[in-house]
Structure 1
Amino acid sequence: MVRTVSAAETAPATWPWLIHAEQLVVRAGRQVAVNGLDLTLDTGVHGLLGPNGAGKTTLMRALATVVNPASGRLRLLGQSVTDPAGLRQVRRELGYLPQHFGFYPRFTVREFVEYVAWLKEMPKSAIPGAVQRAVERVGLADRADTRMKTLSGGMLRRAGIAQAIVNEPRLLLLDEPTVGLDPEQRLDFRHLLRDVGVDSCVLVSTHLVEDVAAACTDVVLIDAGRLVWQGTPAQLAQRGTAGDAGDSATERGYSALLRAHRGQVPA
């Protein structure tokens, strides 16, 4: 007997926040790298800024479900990361590019992206088309059958971005994605971010404040594992003065907020 499927069952899932962290604590070895962080993010492109040692990479690893929180609450796409069933669903809809990613050197670009699509439990029939689209979006269509071990650093990074977007993720996490990209490739990457961020939550960790200003709808600034400030790139630019360090208004705003947080200057 054929069962009638209701509209509610076929409607896209919606959640109050795609990332929701409350008093999140995450350790990196013996050190507390994320310390009581409260953070909520929804659809859009969000830039994660902070100095070296601020906890950015550890936070990204926690959001990617690579490491477990030590305490606090973390919900991704409406699911608790402590629920095994919910965790599996999140991982199907997650894309992640770490700073350093592994691959089999003899894999071609296409084989590498296909392998990640398989890990994401994508339908077998959908994988070839999804892989081709991902490779084309990062400008590697002419290198799809080239072995990974022969690629330049910038091409490897683009292959890493391709594997992160192959499943058209609802949550995309990119840790220092523009390392090794030339200026033209960075412009293409910004366009890709804006395109993906229309329907997904994209979080980009970077030291390049100008990439955040050009591509992101929202900025998250952390220091010592805590949230310092959250707002738009335009608001960030307004926080600085001519006396603050930086070559642009956004860089000066970044410097001003960090110094204020550390009690060095008035907020």
Structure 2
Amino acid sequence: MTTGKDDCMTPATGAADIAPKNYAWEIRATALKVRAGRRRIAVDGPSLSLGTGAHGLLGPNGAGKTTLIRTLATVLRPAAGELELFGTSVSGVGDQRAVRRRIGYLPQEFGYYKRFTVREFVEYMAWLKEVPGSDIPGAVQRAVERVGLADRADERMKALSGGMVRRAGIAQAIVNDPAVLLLDEPTAGLDPAQRMRFRELLQELGRDTCVVVSTHLVEDVAAACSDVLLLAAGRLVFQGTPEEMAAAGGPGHPGDSPLERGYSALLRNSERKEGTW
């Protein structure tokens, strides 16, 4: 596929984008439970209402962050509770294509054809997301520009560094101008300058998109997110602003910043309540 000058500013707009909005929240979950394997409950009962803005999802390894992100992306189905996206229940087994067209998703690990160029990869993902064919060239160009890969758009994926591959993954996640954007460890492999640019992009996207970003890097959340969700052992133990999280900690808690100390304090409190220490 080729890109002409006139295509670069063509917006990717479909019927879902211009339909009236008749729901209160992009994401609403009630007493959500999701299994990892047959027996273990990885997400254990959180209730969430998330709208426009950048929402940071924090938690230690094994807390259930990836499982929750995959469930919001409709990759996994809830074992119990209710999940609504754009006012539509996705807890059942019905056709979810209309909902998925409005979602952007970057998993921790994603596959791609190594011989594809960056442009071909993002074009292919736009096609899979059913972006109208006439809109694809412009949508792809805007996506690669937003992640700083315009000068590498015609290089093969196999020739890119790990950080550039990650940025290509972010480009495919935003190519359909999603109403809900789900990012699982998006800054893995990015250098400090790229992480700063990503934070700026996250703030920009959060102005008119519901973004949920899972990360281990507390400072990324502090710099770019309007609120924070903290998972521990599959349970939601905190939801509030970065400032409120920071206020939960004190000098006696581990961490190099007020937010890290607040994070440590909230995790310690959750462990006390669960009796795990």
- TM-score tier by shorter-chain length is over 0.9
Aligned to 1:168: 177
Is structure 2 residue 36 aligned with structure 1 residue 28? yes
Q: Tell whether 2:88 aligns with 1:79.
A: yes
Matched, 1:153 2:162: yes
Q: What do residues 163-199 of structure 1 show as CA deviations (whole Å, max 9, x unaligned)?
A: 0000010000000000111111111101111111111
| Change over 3 Å in CA distance of 1:151–1:79 after alignment to 2 | same
Q: Distance in 2 between matches of 1:189 and 1:171?
A: 17
The residue type paired with residue 212 of structure 1 is V
Say which is worse superposed, 10-19 or 47-56, in terms of deviation: 10-19
Match of 2:216 in 1: 207
Residue 59 of structure 2 corresponds to 50
Aligned-partner Cα distance in 2 for 1:33–1:243? 30
Q: Distance in 1 between matches of 2:261 and 2:171?
A: 33
Runs of 4+ in 1 over 6 A off after TM superposition: none
Mapped partners of 2:37, 2:67: distance in 1: 10
Task: Give the CA deviation at 1:12.
Answer: 3.6
The number of equivalent residue pairs is 256
Identity %: 68
Distance 1:156 1:10 in 2: 32
Structure 1: 5+ residue stretches without partners: 1-8
Q: Which residue of 1 aligns with 2:47?
A: 38
**What is the aligned counterpart of 1:19 among 27, 32, 40?**
27
Give the Cα separation in 1 of the matches to 2:20 and 2:175: 19
Distance 2:233 2:18 in 1: 43
Tell me, yes or no, if structure 1 residue 236 matches structure 2 residue 245: yes
Question: Which residue among 41, 50, 70 is the counterpart of 2:79?
Answer: 70
- The residue number in structure 1 matching 2:122 is 113
Distance 2:140 2:104 in 1: 14
What is the root-mean-square deviation of aligned Cα atoms in Å? 1.5
Aligned twin of 2:262: 253
**Structure 2 counterpart of 1:4:** none
Task: Provide structure 2 residue ranges, at least 5 long, that are not aligned to the other structure.
Answer: 1-16
1:78, distance to aligned residue in structure 2 (A): 1.2
Provide the C-alpha distance between the structure 1 equivalents of 2:80 and 2:43, rounded to a whole number of angstroms.
Answer: 10
Report the AA paired with residue 154 of structure 2: D
CA–CA separation in structure 2 for the residues paired with 1:14 and 1:189: 31
Partners of 2:118 and 2:80 in 1: CA distance: 38
Which residue identity lines up with residue 197 of structure 1 in the other structure? Answer: G
Q: State the Cα distance separating 1:32 from its structure 2 match.
A: 1.1
Counterpart position of 1:6: none
